[in-house]
Structure 1
Amino acid sequence: MKKVLFLILICGLQTAFSQNTKQVSKTKASETKNEKPVIINDKNLYFDSHLVVEEAPPANSDNTVYNTAEIDIKPIFPGGFEKFYKFVENNFKYSDEGVDLKGKKIYARFIVEQDGALTDIKILKDAGYNTGTETIRVLKKCPRWSPGEKDGKKVRVLYSLPITLK
């Protein structure tokens, strides 16, 4: 009964804090398309309504991020997922907490770039005890993947996957 009440409380808080978080821009889309960069601390910052992007995307590349259902060939770790999970297992360092995390899952999301690099790594759910931070560290250390392809071109792909701790 306490678990149900706790879940209801969490859902209520999530709903309350997710309301009205979108920023409404009064500027027309046509007015923001040709914005000039603003230079702050020697960085070019481009403003696109409420989103701040540190660098402008290259003019000649397709900056679209596809999901795995939209592409012809999915990105893959060199050697397949068995080798990927072996890589994670060999490189993941557990904290000194002495807590048994065996079987716990971490859900990660990242973009596999056109050159196979992993960027925009986010942890959707971790197992606590700094497992999210450690997962990000391991994924940054990861060798380049074979990129996804759509219509014979290498494309950026949003990828989500669970990582089970052993």
Structure 2
Amino acid sequence: MKAFSMYIVCCFISIGCLAQKSDTLITYNFGGSPAKGENVSVYKINRRDTTAWVKTTADKNFVLLKKETFADEQLTVHNGSYQEFLNGKLFIHGHYDKNAKTGKWIIYDSLGYTAQEIHFLNNKFDGPFKSFWNKDHVKYQGNFSQGLKTGEWKIFYLNQQLAGKELYNTTGDLTESAYFDQNARPTVKKNILTEPIFKGGYPRFYKFLAKTLRFPDPDLTGRVVCSAMVNTDGHLSNIEIFSSSHVSLSQEAIRVLELSPPWLPGTLFGEPMAMQIKIAINFTIN
């Protein structure tokens, strides 16, 4: 009999899940002449030099939405600066290296101050992470290594009093934790944060997996460890494989997670927050 088992851990993160949806607009080609009408944004392409192309996207009122740098004229390879705008103000800023996020990425609040700061290496979270209440006060901080939380992470109230402390091992698993109320007394985790959960709980998620998973090969067994972002609307995105016993099992795990119905999003201090979950699925035959 075919079977599977799985476990889930999670962490906060919101960069990359806040892309803006544009209106129905007119499309322009590189020369500036109107192209065939499509349901896309107005955009203009400017060649910066011999190796980079810059695509600027605006809404129907020509309010800036996005500026992207590409390595090719076909605009398929992000390479260089990337910016998104919200209400005409800079919202996200980072860099790509051959379609992979790299270096420091910043999300800005409506006042132009840093709301989140995270580092990437080869499209995975790698390095220090910080989120802020405002320009002077940290909300949450720690480090990632190859996409996984590692070492000590801390959560702070607005007055910078410690709200939580968590310790993660090298495989991204939580090994120790402590949470505190605003009087510095120990409290339960759910008073500070809640983790994403499948609607109906994990028994419903197990049923979804059992119904949807297909063994690519009846004789093939193994384990796939992957991650996914549970956005504030509950949908999964940014599905990545960290380890797998076989490429076909990886492909099946990704396929199934892409079909997942919405989850209940995680929260921090009662507010919905995008969180990264780590999922391990064991493909076994009993």
- Shorter-chain TM-score category? 0.5 to 0.7
Q: Aligned letter for 2:213?
A: F
Equivalent in 29, 32, 37 of residue 67 of structure 2: 37
* Richer in helix (by share): 1
- In the other structure, the counterpart of 1:158 is 276
TM (norm. structure 2) is 0.37
Please give the alpha-carbon distance, in whole angstroms, between the structure 2 residues aligned to 1:106 and 1:146: 23
Q: Aligned letter for 1:150?
A: L
Q: Aligned letter for 1:120?
A: N
* Richer in strand (by share): 2
- In the other structure, the counterpart of 1:98 is 218
Equivalent in 249, 254, 257 of residue 139 of structure 1: 257
Equivalent in 69, 72, 80 of residue 201 of structure 2: 80
CA separation of 1:38 and 1:124: change in aligned 2, threshold 3 A? closer
SS at match of 2:193: coil
CA separation of 1:58 and 1:77: change in aligned 2, threshold 3 A? farther
Q: Aligned letter for 2:94?
A: D
CA deviations 1:39-94 (Å, max 9, x no partner) are 654689617255566xx97966x666997969611100111122212211211111
- Structure 1 segments, 4+ long, off by >3 Å, are 38-45, 49-53, 56-60, 62-71
Equivalent in 128, 151, 156 of residue 246 of structure 2: 128
CA deviations 1:103-162 (Å, max 9, x no partner) are x32111111101111111011122315010111010010000000001121101011021
SS at match of 1:79: coil
Residue range with higher mean Cα deviation, 72-81 or 43-52: 43-52
Structure 1, unaligned stretches of length 5 or more?
1-35
SS at match of 1:143: coil
- In the other structure, the counterpart of 1:32 is none
Q: Is 1:48 matched up with 2:94?
A: yes
Q: Aligned letter for 2:67?
A: P
Q: Aligned letter for 2:281?
A: I
RMSD of the TM alignment (CA)? 3.5
Residue range with higher mean Cα deviation, 121-130 or 140-149: 121-130
Please give the alpha-carbon distance, in whole angstroms, between the structure 1 residues aligned to 2:251 and 2:109: 33
What is the number of residues matched between the two proteins?
125
